[in-house]
Amino acid sequence: MNPFFAKKSLLMVALTTLFAATSAQADVTIISFGGTNQKAQAKAFYEPFTKASGVKIVASEYNGEQAKIKAMVEAKNVSWDVVELESPELARGCEEGLYEKLDMSKIGPKADFIPSALSECGIGIFVWSTVLAYNADALKGTPTSWADFWDLKKFPGKRGMRKGAKFTLEFALLADGVKPEDVYKTLGTKAGVTRAFKKLDEIKPYIQWWEAGAQPPQLLAAGDVVMSTAYNGRIASAQKEGKKLKIMWANNIYDFDSWGIPVGAPNKADAYKFIAFASKPENQKVFSGEIPYGPTNVKGTAMIDKAVAADLPTAPQNMKGALASNTQFWVEHSEDLEQRFNAWAAK
Amino acid sequence: MIASYASTSERIWHYAFRMLCGLIIVFLILPILVIAPLSFNSDSFLLYPMSGFSTRWYEEFFSSPAWRQAFTNSLIISPFSTLLAMLLGTPAAVGLTRIDFPGKGLLTAILISPMVVPVVIVGVATYLVFAPIGLTGSYLGLIMVHAALGVPFVVTTVSATLQGFDFNLVRAAASLGANPLTAFFRITLPLVAPGVISGGLFAFGTSFDEVVVTLFLAGPEQSTLPRQMFAGIRENISPTIAAVATILTVLSTLMLITLEWLRRRSERLRAAP
Amino acid sequence: MTQYSATMPAPLDTAPEASLQSRLRRAERMNKLKYGALILPLAIFLMLTFVWPIAALLKRSVDNPEIITAFPQTSALLRGWNGQALPDDGVFAAFAGEMAQIKGTPVLAAAAKRLNMEVPGFRSLMMRTVRATPLEAGASAREVLIDADPRWGETATWQLLARNASPYTMRYLLASLDHKVNEQGKVVATSPEEAIFVDVLLRTFGMSFVVTVVCLLLGFPLAYFIATRPVKTANVLLMAVLLPFWTSILVRVAAWIVLLQSQGLVNQALMHLGITDHPLQLVFNSTGVYIAMVHILLPFMILPLYSVMKGISPVYMRAALSLGCPPFRSFWKIYFPQTLPGIGAGGLLVFILCMGYYITPSLLGSPNEQMASYFVAFYTNQTINWGMAAALSAILFVATLLLYAIYTRLVGSQNMAARAR
């Protein structure tokens, strides 16, 4: 072949792949928080769904940032079909018209779900919890309260905490002796916020901040920190890999992660089908078996093995004294408190 | 090269200085050499001493859909953005060296500025402008911005090559009846080719290592190798990262050798009478 | 194209030459057009992908569209309000009417978010109020609004709306200098527990300065060493500088994490040598950031220094030495001043590049090492406060531009990459 044509056809091939890849595909794009959570979702939801329906899934991860979704929706050029969301982002996005108002009739009977797992634009995937996790090898004794997390004498060493105001301030108040039911009331006042930051000042030099959920188990396993706030599921996965990490459930903070459909999603019908599939009790059961987050479908809870059930945030003994994350509070205050947190952390 | 009549203090100074320079070179090179062996470690810790030899992390790299997709994306985006940068930058450099006009200095400064403006600003700015017109989450948008970031390198290297270029050759060609295009392709281009190629290599290197703009502009389908590495380092710095790092280091070494070869070649050409 | 004729050679005044001259001039002009056309595509391309987006970003730092978009009529009325007593019934009615119109739309959410930015709690105030609309026929807008939330009966609430009833605001730029407009409309400093950006900007300059100085201290001797070697040795040594220069930044960041982690090689070595008995924290703090930044930017210092030093003739030094000037003194008096252009170029380049760094501090640092770029990304992605992101960008951009202007004066922009080579 003439080398000129060879070059030209190569260019053509490249160009076609280039533009074929930009055009929308029929595959359903699902964005979730990555790591072991995503792996569990793949096993419990994505793979069986593709097997059952023949619809392929493009799975990708993000860290909860809403900017991309906002930009896509405003440009009316949405490439994501289903997104895993934390509650405040969901509530805010719903108000701002980023997410479709869901038609429950396409998903399943309302009565099957924990009532608080359902909202206008979202449907709960699972209940997760932020707990105190510790490295049993590095710690002499067992922490039993958030006050112990602050106790540098009894438990010397560094602490891991999520970089951000959300939950950090709650834990500070809990450690300062505020009762779980009063936490958000206290945090709603100026004095309460100051109190929380003052409490955080006590351990500030000892805090190692983390951003992604996969980090705390590593920090703990590597001995970089002796205790850390962590998502209970990530710790359980690390335990499975043989790491000697433990969970303190006292005064954990729990919340839902939900599915949402961005307005203008290219494959809305399949997105609904997927959400309906993932909300079925038998699939939620598989998910909870992979990573110990509690099902939102009440029927799913009933199906779960006893051994697994004890590790779920929804287990009665774990729920005792637990604090439900206050979505409304964080919708309102994330702007000012995150700003103040940044200012505090940077000093 | 120390003179035999040098005093003791001069001798001490001489060797201390050499040692200092040696240490600085170690500082420059060591981090790059240290990561490659770990990518062949058989267990999953990035620690010395290594526990055994294994290629499993390379297998993981080539079998993981996410990494493979990122690699493919990098191989789509970087060459195209390099091509675009070369196509736009080379003629512009020729134009800039050939004519003078008021404001030329300013124009040159603007054409070069993508090199110095903080990438975060470029990322946010293009993101906010590209989003409403649907250029975020597309290959085209990424290629365009990567080309903009690479273009200054093409302009500057080609200009530098042209400074030693005898434009009478073009005139001669024209007087012999060649039209400007023919003259460009037959005379100018072969002579400035080393400059174009090394500028292109710089542009390629820039795009191939670009992560900030990609963080803002790329959707999950356009994730590139550096973008994937960024996520990997932040979450879990596994030996797979070390394997990718090693592959990238080999690639950059190859680019460096090519550049060096080009530089010597053009030096030889210029030295020739 | 008349402006170009200014640079033309002065026309000769001999008459017979005139036609040749004008032909020559025409040819020259054609030439300019032709070569100008070569620059044009790139100029247009950069206009679209670079200049325009940045200009749009800078404009966004003063944009304030949310309130006037949601409440055009109320905004117009509030601009005429004196701000002393509560606005009259007309304003209340217009506001209630416009509330009803945008009920349940993203426009309302955007306005609520914008106001919540200044006064936390305003979002729910708006959402509660909108539920009371549309008004029943004959109802008093004032009563309904105040009934929905008593804060509508306070002038401060209306002042907040009035302050934002114009399409432009200084709020973001002020906020990025830790200032704000208070309820009396005066510019005041933000409270110390919320102030952050002046510190961040100072830190950005401070860290860039330290990195530049360290790069100079390490780069100068090495550049001198390489410049004084024979060509072959120099070329090998240069490769040692260029290899890290060409290696991906992420590779180098990963490498430094591996080296500096608590059980990493550096800690192992330190403990083996008995310098410390427990692993030191070398990464995810300022140590790690400084080490990696210096490593990444050192070649940008060495290469311009080297190219300047290579051009310095050894003759003067030899002359000074042979005239009995002590080696150090002759180095300082004769050699060093000749390297100043290289120091200026390398130093400015390192400083400019360092100021914009985002990846290295974000992967290797703690919150204490985050520079301006980090907060630009933070406001863009995390809180979607694009006005804030734009304002911080604007400040960073102006600082970069000033230094870049000095740099181009010093070396000429053309030489930048040539020197970087």
User: Quick check: pTM over 0.80?
Assistant: yes
Shortest CA gap B269–chain C (Å): 18
Hey, what amino acid is at C217?
Answer: L
Return the pLDDT at A2. Answer: 43
The chain C residue lying nearest B212, using CA atoms, is: C359
Residues in chain B with CB shorter than 8 Å from the CB of A80 are 219-220
Higher pLDDT, C299 or A3: C299
Q: Is B240 a domain residue?
A: yes
Note whether B32 contacts C373, CB cutoff 8 Å.
no
Of the residues C42, C60, C78, the one at which a domain ends: C60
Distance CA C366, CA A79 (A): 34
pLDDT at residue C410 tops 90: no
Counting one residue from A and one from C, how many pairs have CB atoms under 8 Å apart?
76
Burial of residue B150, with CB atoms counted within 10 A of its CB: 0-12 exposed, 13-18 middle, 19 or more buried = buried
Reference A226, options A150, A139, A161; nearest CA is A139
Which residues, 6+ apart, have CB-to-CB distance to C80 below 8 Å?
none
Q: Is B131 a domain residue?
A: yes
Distance CA A83, CA C71 (A): 32
Distance CA C58, CA B124 (A): 11
Model confidence pLDDT, tens digit, residues C48-101: 999 999 999 999 999 999 999 999 999 999 988 888 889 989 999 999 999 999
Instruction: Name subunits touching B (3+ CB pairs < 8 A).
Output: A, C
E strands, B174-273, are none
Specify the domain boundaries for CATH 3.40.190.10 within chain A. 24-127+256-313, 128-253+320-345
Sign of CA dihedral A15, A18, A22, A23: positive
Sort strands A227-231 and A123-135 into parallel, antiparallel or unpaired: antiparallel
Long-range contacts of C67-71 (CB under 8 A, 24+ apart): C67/C111, C67/C114, C67/C115, C67/C161, C67/C164, C67/C165, C68/C165, C68/C166, C68/C167, C69/C107, C69/C110, C69/C111, C70/C98, C70/C102, C70/C107, C70/C108, C70/C110, C70/C111, C71/C95, C71/C98, C71/C99, C71/C111, C71/C161, C71/C165
DSSP-derived secondary structure letter, C63: B
Distance CA A114, CA B250 (A): 54
* Measured CA distances, A265 to A27, A71, A80, C233 (Å): 12, 13, 6, 61
Shortest CA gap B168–chain C (Å): 14
Give the H/E segment covering residue C345.
helix C336-355
CB C369 within 8 A of CB C151: no
Distance CA B169, CA A339 (A): 64
Which residues, 6+ apart, have CB-to-CB distance to A110 below 8 Å?
A104, A118
Interface test with C, best of A335, A337, A341 (most C CBs within 10 A): A335
Model confidence pLDDT, tens digit, residues C156-205: 899 999 989 999 999 999 999 999 888 777 899 988 888 899 999 999 99
Distance CA B225, CA B162 (A): 34
- Residues 217-256, chain B: which have Cβ within 8 Å of A? 219-221, 223, 231, 234-236
Hey, what amino acid is at C350?
Answer: V
Hey, what amino acid is at A336?
Answer: D
The chain B residue lying nearest A30, using CA atoms, is: B220
CB A271 within 8 A of CB A121: no
Shortest CA gap A310–chain C (Å): 34
Residues C80, C50 share a domain = no
Of the residues C10, C42, C60, the one at which a domain ends: C60
Return the pLDDT at C10. Answer: 45
CB A252 within 8 A of CB A318: yes
CB A254 within 8 A of CB A313: yes
**Radius of gyration, alpha carbons of chain C:** 31
Structure token pair of residue C329: 């003194």
CB C70 within 8 A of CB C110: yes
What 3-state class would DSSP assign to C203? helix
Give the H/E segment covering residue A61.
strand A57-62
Residues in chain C with CB shorter than 8 Å from the CB of B18 are 225
The chain B residue lying nearest C223, using CA atoms, is: B21
Return the pLDDT at A81. Answer: 94
CA angle in degrees (0–180, nearest 5) for C9-C10-C16 = 110
Confidence band of A62 (pLDDT split at 50, 70, 90): confident
Structure token pair of residue C250: 């992420």
Q: Is C399 a domain residue?
A: yes
Structure token pair of residue A146: 């958030």
Higher pLDDT, A72 or A277: A277
Q: Is C103 a domain residue?
A: yes
B99: phi then psi, degrees, rounded to nearest 5: -125, 160
Note whether C196 contacts A208, CB cutoff 8 Å.
no
Q: Is C352 a domain residue?
A: yes
Distance CA A67, CA A239 (A): 34
Q: Is B28 a domain residue?
A: no
Interface test with A, best of B124, B138, B215 (most A CBs within 10 A): B138
Structure token pair of residue B211: 């992560």
pLDDT at residue C147 tops 60: yes
Mark residue A141 as left, alpha or beta (left: phi above 0; alpha: psi -120 to 50; beta: remaining).
Answer: left
Q: How far is CA A177 from the centre of its chain?
A: 27
Sign of CA dihedral B113, B119, B120, B123: positive
Note whether B220 contacts A60, CB cutoff 8 Å.
yes
CB C347 within 8 A of CB C212: yes
Residues C275, C226 share a domain = yes
The chain B residue lying nearest C348, using CA atoms, is: B116
Note whether A34 contacts B235, CB cutoff 8 Å.
yes
Structure token pair of residue C95: 């506001």
What residue numbers bound the domain in which C35 lies? 2-60
Reference C292, options C373, C207, C374; nearest CA is C207
pLDDT at residue A6 tops 50: no
Portion of chain A with pLDDT greater than 70, in percent: 93
Return the pLDDT at C186. Answer: 86
- Residues 51-80, chain B: which have Cβ within 8 Å of A? 76, 80
Model confidence pLDDT, tens digit, residues B32-85: 998 888 889 887 777 777 778 889 899 989 998 889 999 999 999 999 999 999
Return the pLDDT at A283. Answer: 94
Task: Determine how many CB atoms are found less than 10 A away from the CB of residue C404.
Answer: 21
Strand partners, A113: A297
pLDDT (average), residues A228-250: 90
Shortest CA gap C103–chain B (Å): 24
Return the pLDDT at B4. Answer: 63
Model confidence pLDDT, tens digit, residues C342-381: 899 899 999 999 999 999 999 998 888 899 999 999 999 8
Instruction: Name subunits touching C (3+ CB pairs < 8 A).
Output: A, B
Shortest CA gap A299–chain C (Å): 34
pLDDT at residue C2 tops 80: no
Note whether B101 contacts C36, CB cutoff 8 Å.
yes
Q: Is B61 a domain residue?
A: no
- Per-residue DSSP letters for C373-390? HHHHHHHHHTS--HHHHH
Residues C235, C288 share a domain = yes
Specify the CATH number for the domain of residue B160. 1.10.3720.10
Q: How far is CA C97 from the centre of its chain?
A: 42
Burial of residue C316, with CB atoms counted within 10 A of its CB: 0-12 exposed, 13-18 middle, 19 or more buried = middle
Counting one residue from A and one from B, how many pairs have CB atoms under 8 Å apart?
65
Q: For chain B, which residues score pLDDT lower than 70? A: 1-6, 269-273
pLDDT at residue A18 tops 70: no
Q: How far is CA C102 from the centre of its chain?
A: 37
Token look-up 């979702």 returns A41
In chain B, how many domains are there?
Answer: 1
Note whether A35 contacts B235, CB cutoff 8 Å.
yes
Q: Is C188 a domain residue?
A: no
Note whether A346 contacts C380, CB cutoff 8 Å.
no
pLDDT (average), residues A105-110: 90
Portion of chain A with pLDDT greater than 90, in percent: 61
Sort strands A294-295 and A245-260 into parallel, antiparallel or unpaired: unpaired
Buried-state track B103-125, b at ≥16 Cβ within 10 A, e below 16 = eeeebbbbbbbbbbbbbbbbbbb
pLDDT at residue A307 tops 90: no
Shortest CA gap B66–chain C (Å): 18
What residue numbers bound the domain in which B224 lies? 67-271
Residues C299, C202 share a domain = yes
Shortest CA gap B131–chain A (Å): 6
Residues found in chain A: 347
Q: Is C183 a domain residue?
A: no
pLDDT at residue A15 tops 60: no
Structure token pair of residue B178: 């060649």
C344: phi then psi, degrees, rounded to nearest 5: -60, -50
Chain B touched by C110 (CB under 8 Å):
no
Q: Where are the alpha helices (DSSP H) in A23-145?
A: 35-41, 47-53, 67-74, 87-95
Model confidence pLDDT, tens digit, residues C196-233: 999 999 999 999 999 999 999 999 999 999 999 998 89
The torsion angle over the Cα atoms of residues C281, C283, C287 and C288, rounded to 10 degrees, is 160
Strand partners, A160: A208, A228
Residues in chain A with CB shorter than 8 Å from the CB of C128 are none
- Residues 133-162, chain B: which have Cβ within 8 Å of A? 133-134, 136-140
Q: CB-hemisphere CA count at 13 Å for B47?
A: 12
Structure token pair of residue B267: 């030096």
Note whether B220 contacts A29, CB cutoff 8 Å.
yes
Note whether A223 contacts C262, CB cutoff 8 Å.
yes
Model confidence pLDDT, tens digit, residues A42-53: 999 999 999 999
Distance CA C371, CA C206 (A): 10
Of the residues C149, C169, C189, the one at which a domain ends: C169
Q: How is domain A24-127+256-313 classified at the architecture level of CATH?
A: 3-Layer(aba) Sandwich (3.40)
Model confidence pLDDT, tens digit, residues A123-176: 999 999 999 999 988 888 899 999 999 999 999 999 999 999 999 999 999 999
Shortest CA gap B55–chain C (Å): 19
Interface test with A, best of B130, B236, B238 (most A CBs within 10 A): B236
- Which CATH code fits A128-253+320-345? 3.40.190.10
CB B224 within 8 A of CB B70: yes
